[in-house]
């Protein structure tokens, strides 16, 4: 019998487990932290930021009490500065490049300072944006995630009218559906979205999916330009015996359900949970399963800790939350009884001469009543088909674009996870921003 159940923890403990994982700096702490910045002229932290935020500039304004100016300096480069302050892997980006690391092995807390400024602006000036005079141009944005909304906002600022088509009931993309609930609590993703949309000139139509409700060529004809920010809609399968057993789920679906459920006490979770994968999705799924009340949670990854795409800080966070991480093992088959999963048989692996994981033939079994698959998401090109073939160019399994995010089709641009690059919120925002600037130049001749 399966041992998946809801209400494993009392409501007060659940509320604490899914509250803000990293509370904000208070005003005094922010000023003290800002004073640690050297305000480097050729700041390596700026070079490490995919959106090119003037980090010394915004920190200096915090130190002088100019929180509004600080926030606007952040948002002019990264309109999702609030969520990125919470979810960016700063330890491998801006903070990892901070010169303080060489001296103290403790960088300036750039992410926390960015949150301090952007939170202040959202609370005290909810409509700080001002549009340019209307241009009469209309742009379609397909996908309401960070790439699409960043593109829409930049275009709206320049006076263009934008319609965003989003397949899901809510916009926000991974910020709304794919990030651990304790990273963006208190409905922050929707509050930030409302803040961004306060610029005006942006209409969102939810429940509109490319390939089902929309056609790329129809959009080309109806709008002056089109931006595609459709993300990665497919989930890689294990292709193993037992994968269809009850209790076996995609980790992204588990996270999305958890994000959309108001009462965490109604969410069923296994007593013994095995998560297969080594990325941030695996970490988020495993940690949240543990915080829902799972007693035994194990992540299993086919290679070593240094090869996991989850950062070292994320791995430490999971283990701090009671999650075990086992390396050098790959799933061989899923075991079940009466239609429910009961365990996973793994085969131990080792590195070959090129560093790839190779099976050794030795196996072991982990008991499990819930298995979460987090072995990667993939781009699905089906929505791009038109008249029996692909409507635009695809390269290495993603939409092919140039440096300005132009696709092979006239007037059509793309960005975010559906194009090649780092699958990070901050990178998606940069794609949307670059595409918007290129679209604006094209529209204005």
User: Which pLDDT tens digit goes with each residue over 110-161?
Assistant: 999 999 999 999 999 999 999 999 999 999 999 999 999 999 999 999 999 9
Cα 77 to Cα 17, 80, 210, 327, 432: the distances in Å are 33, 9, 29, 39, 11
What mean pLDDT is predicted for residues 412-440? Answer: 96
Per-residue pLDDT band for 3 (boundaries 50, 70, 90) equals confident
SS3 content of the chain, % helix, strand, coil (to 5): 40, 20, 40
How would you classify the pairing of strands 202-206 and 161-166? Answer: parallel
Query: For position 297, what pLDDT does the model report?
Result: 98
Domains 4-11+235-376 and 138-233+379-443 agree in fold: yes
State residue 342's pLDDT score: 97
Work out the average pLDDT over 89-96: 96
Average of per-residue pLDDT across 16-41: 96
pLDDT of residue 2: 67
| 138-233+379-443 placed in CATH 3.10.20.30 | no
pLDDT of residue 354: 87
Give the architecture-level CATH label for domain 36-124: Orthogonal Bundle (1.10)
Residue 176's pLDDT band (cuts 50, 70, 90): very high
pLDDT at res. 222: 96
Mean pLDDT of all residues belonging to the chain: 95
pLDDT at 388 over 70: no
Mean pLDDT of 392-417: 94
Q: Where are the domains of the chain?
A: 4-11+235-376, 36-124, 138-233+379-443
409: nearest Cα among 158, 216, 218, 127:
216
335-361 pLDDT, tens digit per residue, is 999 999 999 999 999 999 888 899 999
Question: Tokens representing 149?
Answer: 């909304």
CA–CA distances in Å: residue 224 to residues 4, 141, 163, 285, 300: 51, 11, 11, 41, 48
267-316 tens-digit pLDDT? 999 999 999 999 999 999 999 999 999 999 999 999 999 999 999 999 99
Lowest mean pLDDT among 86-100, 144-158, 380-394: 380-394
Residue 376 pLDDT level (bands cut at 50, 70, 90): very high
β strands within 4-71, DSSP E: 4-5
Question: Would the pLDDT of 1 be above 60?
Answer: no
Residue 83 has pLDDT above 70, yes or no: yes
Query: pTM for the complete prediction?
Result: 0.95
Mean per-residue pLDDT, 361-369: 97
What percent of the chain clears pLDDT 70, i.e. is strictly above it? 99
Q: State the fold for domain 4-11+235-376.
A: FAD/NAD(P)-binding domain (3.50.50)
């Amino acid at each position: 019998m399966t041992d998946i159940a809801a209400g494993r923890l009392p409501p007060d403990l659940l509320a604490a487990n899914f509250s803000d994982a990293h509370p904000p700096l208070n005003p005094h702490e922010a000023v003290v932290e800002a004073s640690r910045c050297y305000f480097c002229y050729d700041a390596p932290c700026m070079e490490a930021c995919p959106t090119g935020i003037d980090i010394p500039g915004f920190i200096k304004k915090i130190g002088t009490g100019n929180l509004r100016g600080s926030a606007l300096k952040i948002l002019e480069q990264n309109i999702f500065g609030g969520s990125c302050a919470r979810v960016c892997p700063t330890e491998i980006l801006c903070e990892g490049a901070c010169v303080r690391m060489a001296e103290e092995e403790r960088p300036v807390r750039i992410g926390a300072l960015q949150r301090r400024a952007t939170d202040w602006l959202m609370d005290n000036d909810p409509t700080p944006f001002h549009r340019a005079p209307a241009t009469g141009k209309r742009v379609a944005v397909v996908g309401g995630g960070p790439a699409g909304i960043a593109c829409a906002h930049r275009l709206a600022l320049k006076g263009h009218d934008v319609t965003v088509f989003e397949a899901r009931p809510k916009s926000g993309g991974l910020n709304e559906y794919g990030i651990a609930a304790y990273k963006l609590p208190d409905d922050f993703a929707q509050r930030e979205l409302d803040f961004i949309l306060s610029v005006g000139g942006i209409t969102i139509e939810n429940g509109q999916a490319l390939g089902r409700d929309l056609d790329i060529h129809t959009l080309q004809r109806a709008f002056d330009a089109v931006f595609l920010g459709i993300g990665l809609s497919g989930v890689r399968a294990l292709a193993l015996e037992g994968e269809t057993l009850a209790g076996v789920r995609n980790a992204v679906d588990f996270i999305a359900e958890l994000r959309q459920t108001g009462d965490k006490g109604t969410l069923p979770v296994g007593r013994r949970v095995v998560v297969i994968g080594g990325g941030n999705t695996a970490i988020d799924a495993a940690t949240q399963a543990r915080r829902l009340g799972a007693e035994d949670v194990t992540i299993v990854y086919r290679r070593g800790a240094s090869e996991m795409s989850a950062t070292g800080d994320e791995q430490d966070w999971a283990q701090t939350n009671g999650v075990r991480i086992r390396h050098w093992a790959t799933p061989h088959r899923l075991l079940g009884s009466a239609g429910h999963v009961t365990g996973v048989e793994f085969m131990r692996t080792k590195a070959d001469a090129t560093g790839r994981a190779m099976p050794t033939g030795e196996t072991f079994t982990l008991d499990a009543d819930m298995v979460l698959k987090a072995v990667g998401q993939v781009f699905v090109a089906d929505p791009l088909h038109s008249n029996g073939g692909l409507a635009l160019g695809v390269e290495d399994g993603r939409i092919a674009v140039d440096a300005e995010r132009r696709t092979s089709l006239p007037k059509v641009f793309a960005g975010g996870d559906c194009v090649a690059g780092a699958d990070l919120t901050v990178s998606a925002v940069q794609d949307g921003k670059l595409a918007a600037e290129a679209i604006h130049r094209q529209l204005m001749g």
